[in-house]
A and B are shown apart, each in its own frame.
Chain A
Amino acid sequence: MRVAGIDLPGRLWIGTGGLTSTSLVGEIVEAARPGLVTVSVRRTSDTERGGLLDMLRALGVRILPNTAGCLSAREAVLTAQLAREALETDWVKLEVIGDETSLMPDAVELLDAAETLVRQGFTVLPYTSADPVLARRLVDVGCAAVMPLGSPIGTGRGLDDPRAIEAVRAAVAVPVVLDAGIGTASDAALAMELGCDAVLAATAITRADRPAQMAAALRAAVGAGEMARRAGRIPRLTTARASSPMAGRVGT
């Protein structure tokens, strides 16, 4: 898949949030073969070596910094600017949340931050509510993709409202990446069947009993969902329709 003219090697994107140990990163990346890997940007007192960053660079994966935890456009813009400086990438997963309880995006601040960052030359991938109108507004200000949430961050409930995801898909021409709420493989497959271009999973993998195994399962599910989407599913009917021929039955 392509985002902002760049070919990404996979449709499963992974987040490093919730890792119990950075030593797990290698086996998770190997199992997921992700299109990219997200990180947050946080204060550090250790300016010696960035352990996680070094590990990801050694694995050769594309790194996507996020602005997780930012509550205003101002904070998110500064965090993105720091990320660009620290990680040498102008890509950013833009998150501006409204409060720390719901972790739901603040649409007004998000749109404001997106517009500012696009103007500053960033490739902006916004984490957004599953709202086709907002998605279109984000694309109008120059976002390279939209990342609607399936259900609130960390809930693992899957897609609360599949029709809203379909509506976002129909509303924009840029890549749609299902973000937040993935709990297991079937959630990822459903997102792809609905027309998403990629799926981002973090804690679904990192907090699973066997993270690398879940990464492999999600990768397979993303592939299966995409293949099914391209195959063209049969319509849902309200009444039965026989698949065996009626002609030639015995006793007629």
Chain B
Amino acid sequence: MNIKVNGTPRVVEEEATLHSLVPSARGVAVALNGAVVPAAAWHETRLSENDAVEVVTAHQGG
């Protein structure tokens, strides 16, 4: 199925979860369709067609 990860189109398996996309939660946060999903819920969060996933971390900034 087709989703977007950080704005880039990506094809993932039908059964894919957030965990299959982002294996490690260390210093990383995830939003699914504009809402934050806590790391504890990544395993059970199934992805759907056209989902938009954001994966972020700390970067330099003032």
Contact = CB atoms under 8 A, between A and B. Distances in A.
B62 A50 contact: no
Contacts of A56: 58
Given A49-B26, A53-B27, A82 B61 contact: no
B31 A82 contact: yes
B38 A16 contact: no
A38 B55 contact: no
B55 A42 contact: no
A40 B23 CA distance: 22
Contacts of B34: 78
Nearest to A67: B61
A18 B26 contact: no
Contacts of A40: 58-62
B51 interface: no
A18 B60 contact: yes
Q: Is the interface of A mostly helix, strand, loop or mixed?
A: mixed
Interface residues of B, number: 24
Interface string A146-176: 0000000100000000000000000000000
Contacts of A82: 29-31, 36, 54, 56
A52 B59 CA distance: 7
Contact of A65 (B24, B26, B58): B58
Given A43-B56, A82-B56, A50 B28 contact: yes
A43 B54 contact: yes
Contact of A50 (B39, B54, B57): B57
A86 B62 contact: no
A15 interface: yes
Nearest to A43: B6
Given A52-B59, A202-B62, 4 more contacts: A38-B61, A82-B54, A86-B27, A200-B62
5 contacts: A43-B7, A52-B59, A53-B58, A66-B62, A203-B62
The 9 closest A-B pairs by CB, nearest first: A40-B61, A202-B62, A15-B62, A17-B62, A85-B29, A86-B29, A50-B27, A42-B59, A16-B60
